[in-house]
Structures are given as structure tokens and as C-alpha cells.
Structure 1
Amino acid sequence: MLLTNSNEDITKCVSVAVLLLVLTGIFFWRWWSTHLRHKTLPPGPVPLPVIGSLHLLGSLPHRSLHKLSQKYGPIMSVRLGSVQFVIISRKCYLQIAMKILQNVKCVSVAVLLLVLTGIFFWRWWSTHLRHKTLPPGPVPLPVIGSLHLLGSLPHRSLHKLSQKYGPIMSVRLGSVQFVIVSSPDAAKLFLGTHDIIFASRPQIQAAKYLSYDNKGMTFSEYGPYWRSVRKFCTVELLSATKVNGFAGMRREEIGLMVEEMKAAAKARKLVNLSETVSSVIEGMVCRMLFGKKNDERFVFKTVIDKSMEATGIFNLADYVPMLAPFDLQGLTKRFKSLSKELDEMFEILIDEHEKRNQASESPNRDQMDFIDILLSLKQEYSNTHDNLSYTIDRSNMKAILLDMVAGAIDTAKTSIEWILSVLIKHPRVMKELQKELKTMVGDKLLVEESDLTRLRYLHMVVKETFRLYPVAPLLVPHQSMEDIAINGYTIPKKTRVLVNYWAFGRDPKVWSDNWDEFLPERFLDNEFDFRGHDFKLIQFGIGRRGCPGMNLGLLNIGLVVSNMVHWFDWELPNGMSPTELDMKEKFGLTTPREKPLFAIPTYWT
């Protein structure tokens, strides 16, 4: 329900009235200080700009002031810099001078109280009247708002606050108004019923530097350009036809991973599973996008990890703009450095593709990788992607490539890292999954893509991991495009909305009192799907801004996890028991494990 023009007019009128009250007080203060206060001040030398009469003091101010008093009298007014002084040079005039100062003090206090009253009324109105229908939330501090309440793990802090203020909570961070959504029912209102209103993204410093001034799909504002980019990425990379076309490549990469783990098992070698998973996902993604695996010139996974961590930090420059030039957190410097590293890698890749295409005939459409398709779109008009054909340039290409690299690598590898962690931590669940794999896959060396649809328990394990260990606990922020009323609360235009998906999995109203147990069987009789139509599992977002790469992500996750446990048991190092495995997270735009996962494989023979 949209707000009425009547309410808007009242808001504007009250705003103008309060502002005029403050300005009237300030004007009266200035007028009095210029015409009355200085009219009754004692005589004295005419002050210079800025320094006043400081130049007249000399090295012996008492002698200089005495000399001046012989000209201006025993009660003399002198301004030193911006500070007003009264110089008394005879004892008999001391009592008279004190009375003058007392009168000045009384009038000053009266005028100051008038100004403060206006300011107080302004603050009271803005907090209690103008925003009286905002959702409840903590009282913000001046300048910083509630930034001090976020801590090092904001999703946990916001969840705790939501238990006091409710699933729709208002929080001001610096000068920016946020609404925090902490339950599936609340999320349905914002991202379901009113999805179109909240389909845009706020402009943040991270996207300015890393996403080439918001030209990627993730952070661009809702509109024709975003729709064109999303359509292009879906059709040319993420459609079922395109994804299936890379099945052979994925089988090769999974086979190499399994052979590597077999060698580690034979040598009783400690494996950094976090690194292994990251490498295999990076290999598959790079072959899809660039037509080849990474070499030593490219360190995408390292730079992407750093970028995700930096982007997730609540940046003072975004919330207190006047502090942006000071770069108090060092984030501007980090963003510029990361942007430079990414840009150099993309430039090399694009240059290589251009030179290759110039040296030989252009490849057939079926032989093109994603960069080839981007270049062809830039070089010739496309009926399928007509809007993007007109606007695409080199910066657009690099922004789109970054979205695809970061989204495909980081989401999948972080999800797999958490799934393997919970399987090692819960041996019972591991054995159940291995039992299903033995039954459904049999003695085949590799779990194939065609096997995944029949692995029901694997799907339950993935869902339960998404519930308790979401990859992006706060999702990517949304922004309202117009004023709207939801559940009796007023949500003004350009309010930022954070969906605390981490809190969803800890809601006893949804998951019962055993929500804190890792129990895949809770999905046995529930048809909660990964698309989040019931808003309980929205790992990949939902609505217009939902991730179009969900199917590719789930496919890669299922392949890696199933092949990691089909023929392997995993033992923690140094005799550590599964219950001792540290499950702490590190906050960022995505939230990986705080410490890498290490384990020793045992190969079944």
C-alpha cells in the first residue's frame, strides 16, 4: 500500500516549520551578536580578519594593553583571534564590568536555549513523528547510528537484536536507514509480495571499485541495463543447454580430483580440503568462461576471497560519507588494490582472445567460450541481446566476467567446504550418505551427473547445511525504489533492506525446538526446495534478484561432495575427535570457515 500525498504534504510542512524555527534562532543569535552585543561592548581597537588584535600584544602584552587603555579607556574591548576579551585597567571599574558580562551571559543563554529547543524539536519530530511508523529498533547514536552494535559477526548481532525488536526491524547505520528482515514470513512480504519495490541495489564503495562503477549484474540498479545483463548471462552461460554442454569437462576435473585424493590416501597425506575444493571449482569455472584452466599468471580464487571479505565489511564511507576521504578502515586502498589486480588479469585474458581471433577465423558459435561471446557482442549487433549490443564496452565486459567468476567460484567452494565439515563432524550422517551412494551408484569409480537426481539423502544434507551454515548470511542488500507500507510500517524510498538468512535457520517457529541440531532427516517429509518458494531456504536469493546460476552451483556442489565421500573416509589430524572440529565462521559478503579444513583420506579398496 503506497503512502498518500496528504501524508507527504504534512511531512514537508512540518519539516519546513521546524527548519524555519532553527534558522530563526540562529538568525536572532547572529543579529544580536552583531548589532546588540557588540553595540554595548566597551571601545577598543578595530580587529583584523582572522587574527583580531593579536599583532598588537608584542612580547610584553601587559605593557601593550596598558598603552592601549590610555587611548580607549579603563574598560576596553579587544578581540584576539575569534575570542572576545574585555580588558580592565582600573580597580574601580571591575564591578561595572562584571555587571556587563552578566547581562551578556543571560542573553547568550536565552538565545542558545532557543536554538537548542529548535534542534531538539527537529530531532524529536524526525524520530517520533516522521518515522513513527518505521519498524521498531535500537535508538541510534549521533553520527554512527547503530554501527557500534554490529560486532565482528554482524549476522549474529542482528539476530540477537531481532529477538528483542522483532523479525522486521529498523536500524540506522551512520546516516543510512536499514530494515532488517529476520524470518521467512517477513522475507515473503519484502521479496515476494512486494518484490518489484525492493528489486534495486544501493550504491556502495565496493561496487564502485570492484564492479566497474556498478556495471555488473550483482550490484547494478534495477532497470533495462540490469535486465539485459541478466538475460545475456542466463542465455549464454547458465541455461540448461549451456551447462549440459560442459558435462564432459566437469567429469575430467572430478576425475583428476579423485585421483589426487587416492594418491593422498596412499601416502597418508594431510589434505587441505578448503584449498582442494577451491582449486577444482576454479578449474571448472575457468574452463567454462575462458576456455582453459588457470595458470600461474592468474590468482582468481585468492583475489576473490579477499574481495568477498572486504566487500562484506560495513564500510564507514558508505554510511558516514563525510568520513570517506579519511579512509579510516583502509578499505578504499584495499578496493583499489584488488580492482587493479582483477583488471590486469581480465585485460590479459581479453587481449589473448582478441589476438587469437584476429590471427585465425572466428570460432564457430559452439566453439566459443564466454569471452568470445562477449567480444562478438561488442563487435557486431545481436538481435537476441539488442540492448546490451548498444551499450557494452570493455569495462562492462570485465564487470560481467567478475560477477561470473566470483559467483561461480565462491558460492560453490564455500558451500562444499561447510558440507564436508558437517559430514566429518557428524559421522552418523556421513555413514548414511555413503550407504546411499553405495546403493545408488554402486562400484563405479565416479559419481556421475545423472546419478545426482536419485541421491535423496545427499539433497537433505545439502539443505540442512544451507540452513545452519549459509554462504551469504545477510544476502546482498536490496533497496526500495518508492515509499511503501508493509504490516503497518512505513518503509521510505531508498531504504536499504538486509535479509538475515542466517536467522531463518534458527527460528524455532519454523524448525521446532531442535533447530540447533544437524539433522538432515528433518527434510524427509518436507518438500522445501532450493528455489525458496516457501522462503525457508533462500541460499541463492529469490525473486527478480535471485541468482540465475543456482542450477550450475547445485550441480558442482553435488558432484564434488558425492565424489569426496563415495570412496573415501576422512580422519581429522592429530587424533582430533569429530566433536572437536572448530565450526567458527569468518564474516564477509560470503562467510567461509574461519580456519581451513584439514583431514586425512582413507580410500576404500
Structure 2
Amino acid sequence: MAETEPIQLVCYSLCFILVATILVKLKLRSSSSSALRGLNLPPGPWSMPVLGHMQFLIGALPHRALRGLARRHGPVMLLRLGHVPTLVLSSAEAARAALKAPHDAAFAGRPMHATASIITYGGENIAFARHDSRHWKALRTLCTVELLSPGRVRSFRPVRDQEAARLVYSVLAAGAGGSAVNVSEKVKVMMNDVIMRVSVGDTCRQRAAYLEELDRMLDLMSGFNLTDLFPASRLARVLGGGSLKAAWAVQRRMHGIMEDMIRDHKRAMDTELQEPEATGHDADEREDILTTLLRFQRDGGIGDIALTNENVSGVLSDVFSAGSETTATTVIWAMSELMRSPRTMAAAQSEVRRALHGKTAVTEADIDSGRLLYLEMVIKETFRLHPPLPLLLPKLCTEPSKVMGYDVPAGTTVFVNVWAIGRDEDSWTTDAGEFKPERFESEAVDYGGTDFRFLPGGAGRRMCPGMIFGMSNIMIALASLLYHFDWKLPGGKSPKKLDMAETYGITARRKTDLMLEATPFVP
């Protein structure tokens, strides 16, 4: 069983302190209990006063602990985390019942946790804005039609090609003389650079400061604040005050950095309007995402919905947090699984090297030709076993609903355990826990959120709008690593000895960096 992360230990320790100090003061309201009488609520384990079911999460990562509970109590399970009623869905059938249109409308809300509210200006981004608001629909349309459309993603090919080449050079330099290469670090740098250049251009002077604050923001948003679990408790507000102050500090710093970025971009846009020949091109698909957002802001918004600087900052934050961490995590897990299976590694490398026919560099034009079918299966299998978000971002049931015959009261937080669904023996009958990319030769599965056994980007109204962009980044990074290098574990270790422990933050990453020896491959 995986070790509990420090942030979890702090949270659970404070929760147990709450038992001793406020148990006599807090009472379950009789009105709440009477409102639930007569409902066919989902099953769940025994609960404790005040804590509810939080004791079951101690000692394991959340997605693993919830899977263990689901095996005993079923794929539709109702828990209480502190004072928060929480529905956990752990099968494809359960996910379909909640996320398939038109039923997904009732489950498309977002619980606005304290830290998220601070960081997102109360929901001024896509991830946390109210799904039934004109504001959210406008931002979603802007993202899918303008920012991350297939054509726009293709326009970023030169950036991906250049950063993939830099990844190769950085591995060559780090591995000179037989030194072990920190593959995790190299991949993260590449993904950060791709996202930064696509989002704010090549010459953003605030790059380092923004990435530093973004890391802090992701750490803060990776867990609950005590006020989220015990909203009526004054003690919870006191004990959770430190992390909320930290969130406010990060928000103020990020706001300042974003204002500087926006100011710099507006100056550049004014120069382009006055001297178009000085920029070398008109405003078109080649512009970075921030420039596109500011162009819409300058032209009056989206339809009749104005774009504020907070909207612009929120959307950029979504692109960074969803586009960098998740893609890097997927590439690192794919390399980890390939290292554990020499047969699979050989098959993937052979395909890539045949497709490139001895070329000296990997470009997207070479690999985006439908010839890397096995590599695509490797990526799908990595998503199945290691979804970047093992628990999809929490949803909020906004109206009384039913899931597989069970009543779900309005106000219930909903978690979809895609990690458990990807390893469900009922859905994946052949060695569900094993890494076998070949299974997708007979499984017609895509990323559209229509096959509820496979939900790396979610489904329904809240599914990720950037899957095409993410897949493009993953494909070229993985193809470059496999084409240019042969890999082995340091010290001649057996592949079966590779540590596959994971840790839980905003994504489920490797607990330790992936360290490998790289031997250059000469075409």
C-alpha cells in the first residue's frame, strides 16, 4: 500500500484534532436527516461522527483507497468527507449514467472550494465557471473554436518540432560519458517550454516568475482546505487559515505577473497595428494564445460577453495547468512502462525507426501520417493505467438526480474514479492490470468521451477541450525519445526492479524521478 503524502497527513491529523475539540459543539441538523428520509441512497461504509468516512482514506492514495471501498460497496458509493456528501463512481456504467448527455447537465457543476475560489477569481476560468452561465459557454466556445481547434493546434507544429529537438540535445548533453539522465526533468522542461511559447510567445520576460508561481498554485489546489470539509466550523477556519493566506499570496503575485504580460502584449499589438510590416505577419492563427484572447477583448469580447483581464488570466492558467503537467506525466509513465517491458519497447522503437527512414530529426510531419499505430496504442494504454487525473476534477450535483437507481441529493460532490475504471476487470477482461498496448488492436476506443471505460479527458459538458493539443505534444516527445536513444536502467538493473510508486498532487505522478541511461542511436 502506498505511503500517505505529507499534505494528507497534515489534513488528517488536523481532522482528528477537530474530533476532540468540536465534537460536543457540532450536531447533525435534524432537518438534513429528515430531508433524506425515503430516498434510496447509494451504499457506503460505516462513518464516524464529524469525520464521516475520512478515516478510510488514511494510508493510501485517494484513488486507490476509493477503489478498495468500491469493491466492497459497489461502483456507486456515497461517502461523507467531513460534512461534505460525496458520490464516488467507479465503473463505466456508473460514469455513463452521470456523464452522458442529457443527464450530465445535473452533474456539470463545480464545488467551489476555498483555494480554487481564490486562485480563479471566484470562477473566472473555464474549469470552475458555472456550466450553465453564458460566461462559461462563451469561454468554452472561444477555447474550442479559436484557441485549441485542430487547425490552431497544427499551426503550433514548428514550436513542437523545435522543442522536441531541444529535448534530444538536452538528453545527449546530460547522458555524455554514460551518466544517468533525469528523464522526468527533461520532459517537464520540454512541456513547459511548449506551453509557454504557444501561450505567451517566445520572448516573454515573465516566464520564470510565472512558472514558479504556477507550481505553487498547483500544489495548493491539489488538496482540500479544512474549511471545505467543515464549512460550519470556526476551528476549521482558524486551522485552515494559513493555507488560505498562502493562496491569497500566490493569487496576488500571479495577478501582478499576468498584468505585466497583458501590458507587454497590448504594447506589441499596438505596434503591430501601427507598423504591420515591422512584425512580419498579420494577426492570424500563428499568434500566441494570449494575443488571441486580447484581440477578442479589444474587439468587444465573445458575442455580447466581455472578456476581463481576470478571464484572460484564468483561461491562460487553465492552458498551463492542464497542458503541461498532464502531458509530461503521461510521457514519463509511458517511458516507465516501456522500460519494464523490453518486448513492448522494441516494438515501439522499431515502428518509429521504420517510419522515419533514417532521418536525422523527428518532426511532426513525419509522425502525423497514421504510420505510428503501435505508438498510439502505447499512449492509450498509458492513459488507461495511469490517467493524469485519476479522479476527474470534482463535479457538483446541482439538482436531485438518479444514478443506476440510486437517489443523489442536490449539493452532492461527485468524483469519477477513472483510475479504477481503467483497471476494472468487468470492462477490460484481459489482464486488466497489465500493460498490453495490443489490446487496442481490437478495442475501438478514442478520446471523445463516448466510451466510458476510457476517460482520460473526462466526458460530457466538462470534458477537456485540449485533448488534440495534448496528444500532439505527447506523440512528438515520446517518438523523439524512442527514435534517438536506446535506454536502460542505471547500473544494469533489471527492468522489473524499476520503482513504479506514484504520488498524488494535481496529477498522479511518479514518486521518484525516472533516471535512465541513454545510448544515442545513429540512423
> Are residue 374 (structure 1) and residue 293 (structure 2) matched?
yes
Deviation (angstroms), 1:210: 1.4
Aligned to 1:51: none
Paired residues for 1:334-353 under 5 Å: 334-353=246-265
Aligned to 2:508: 591
C-alpha separation in 1, matches of 2:203 and 2:338: 29
**Aligned residues, how many?**
483
CA contact (8 A) 1:304 1:410 kept: no
Amino acid at match of 1:563: S
Select which of 134, 137, 150 maps to 1:227.
Answer: 137
C-alpha separation in 2, matches of 1:131 and 1:455: 55
Gaps of at least 5 residues in structure 2 are 1-23, 277-281
Deviation (angstroms), 1:358: 4.0
C-alpha separation in 2, matches of 1:554 and 1:329: 39
C-alpha separation in 2, matches of 1:182 and 1:293: 45
> Are residue 499 (structure 1) and residue 416 (structure 2) matched?
yes
Aligned to 2:169: 259
Aligned to 1:486: 403
Instruction: Give me the CA root mean square deviation.
Output: 2.4
> Are residue 365 (structure 1) and residue 277 (structure 2) matched?
no
Deviation (angstroms), 1:262: 3.0
Aligned to 1:137: 44
Q: Secondary structure at the match of 1:169?
A: strand
Amino acid at match of 2:62: P
C-alpha separation in 1, matches of 2:192 and 2:207: 14
Select which of 231, 235, 239 maps to 2:149.
Answer: 239
CA contact (8 A) 2:50 2:83 kept: yes
Paired residues for 1:64-75 under 5 Å: none
C-alpha separation in 1, matches of 2:247 and 2:52: 24
> Are residue 394 (structure 1) and residue 313 (structure 2) matched?
no
Q: Secondary structure at the match of 1:361?
A: helix
Paired residues for 1:175-186 under 5 Å: 175-186=83-94
Provide, for residues 96-150 of structure 1, a one-character-per-residue CA deviation record: whole Å limited to 9, x for no partner. xxxxxxxxxxxxxxxxxxxx9xx999499549x6264110012332222112222
C-alpha separation in 1, matches of 2:28 and 2:374: 60
Gaps of at least 5 residues in structure 1 are 1-115
C-alpha separation in 2, matches of 1:604 and 1:529: 32
Q: Determine what percentage of the aligned residue pairs are the same residue.
A: 34
C-alpha separation in 1, matches of 2:106 and 2:242: 34
> Are residue 325 (structure 1) and residue 325 (structure 2) matched?
no
Select which of 554, 557, 561 maps to 2:471.
Answer: 554
Which has the higher relative contact order, 1 or 2, with Cα contacts under 8 A spaced 6 or more apart? 2
Amino acid at match of 1:189: A
C-alpha separation in 2, matches of 1:355 and 1:257: 32
CA contact (8 A) 1:414 1:592 kept: yes
Query: Residues 121 and 434 from structure 1, CA distance in 2 versus in 1: closer, same or farther, beyond 3 angstroms?
Result: closer
C-alpha separation in 1, matches of 2:32 and 2:462: 37
CA contact (8 A) 1:298 1:345 kept: no
Select which of 184, 191, 208 maps to 1:298.
Answer: 208
Provide, for residues 40-63 of structure 1, a one-character-per-residue CA deviation record: whole Å limited to 9, x for no partner. xxxxxxxxxxxxxxxxxxxxxxxx
Amino acid at match of 2:409: P
Select which of 207, 210, 213 maps to 2:116.
Answer: 207
C-alpha separation in 1, matches of 2:209 and 2:485: 29
Deviation (angstroms), 1:196: 1.4
C-alpha separation in 1, matches of 2:152 and 2:343: 37
Select which of 567, 573, 582 maps to 2:490.
Answer: 573
Aligned to 1:150: 57
493-502 vs 323-332, which moves further: 323-332
Aligned to 1:170: 78
CA contact (8 A) 1:297 1:345 kept: no
Paired residues for 1:466-485 under 5 Å: 466-485=383-402
Query: Residues 157 and 294 from structure 1, CA distance in 2 versus in 1: closer, same or farther, beyond 3 angstroms?
Result: farther
C-alpha separation in 2, matches of 1:120 and 1:553: 45
Q: Secondary structure at the match of 2:426?
A: helix
C-alpha separation in 2, matches of 1:436 and 1:344: 47
Query: Residues 300 and 277 from structure 1, CA distance in 2 versus in 1: closer, same or farther, beyond 3 angstroms?
Result: farther
CA contact (8 A) 1:530 1:538 kept: yes
Larger Rg: 1
> Are residue 444 (structure 1) and residue 362 (structure 2) matched?
no
Deviation (angstroms), 1:285: 1.2
Deviation (angstroms), 1:202: 1.2
Provide, for residues 238-283 of structure 1, a one-character-per-residue CA deviation record: whole Å limited to 9, x for no partner. 0111111111222112122222323344432322111111111111
Deviation (angstroms), 1:515: 1.5
Select which of 438, 445, 457 maps to 1:528.
Answer: 445
C-alpha separation in 1, matches of 2:271 and 2:484: 46
Amino acid at match of 2:100: G
Query: Residues 125 and 210 from structure 1, CA distance in 2 versus in 1: closer, same or farther, beyond 3 angstroms?
Result: closer
CA contact (8 A) 2:110 2:396 kept: yes
CA contact (8 A) 1:243 1:552 kept: yes
C-alpha separation in 1, matches of 2:105 and 2:129: 15
Provide, for residues 294-345 of structure 1, a one-character-per-residue CA deviation record: whole Å limited to 9, x for no partner. 6675244444344333322133211201244213484313322332342233
Aligned to 1:355: 267
Aligned to 1:271: 181
Select which of 309, 325, 328 maps to 1:410.
Answer: 325
CA contact (8 A) 2:449 2:463 kept: no
Amino acid at match of 1:195: D
CA contact (8 A) 1:283 1:293 kept: no
323-332 vs 565-574, which moves further: 323-332
Select which of 519, 527, 539 maps to 2:436.
Answer: 519
Provide, for residues 532-565 of structure 1, a one-character-per-residue CA deviation record: whole Å limited to 9, x for no partner. 3221111011111111100000011011001101
Provide, for residues 473-500 of structure 1, a one-character-per-residue CA deviation record: whole Å limited to 9, x for no partner. 0011111121122322111112111000
**TM-score by structure 1 length?**
0.75
C-alpha separation in 2, matches of 1:423 and 1:329: 44
C-alpha separation in 2, matches of 1:123 and 1:379: 51
C-alpha separation in 1, matches of 2:146 and 2:427: 38
Paired residues for 1:38-77 under 5 Å: none
C-alpha separation in 2, matches of 1:210 and 1:429: 42
Query: Residues 305 and 421 from structure 1, CA distance in 2 versus in 1: closer, same or farther, beyond 3 angstroms?
Result: farther
Amino acid at match of 1:154: P
C-alpha separation in 1, matches of 2:50 and 2:505: 24
C-alpha separation in 1, matches of 2:341 and 2:308: 50
C-alpha separation in 1, matches of 2:28 and 2:84: 20
C-alpha separation in 2, matches of 1:571 and 1:131: 60
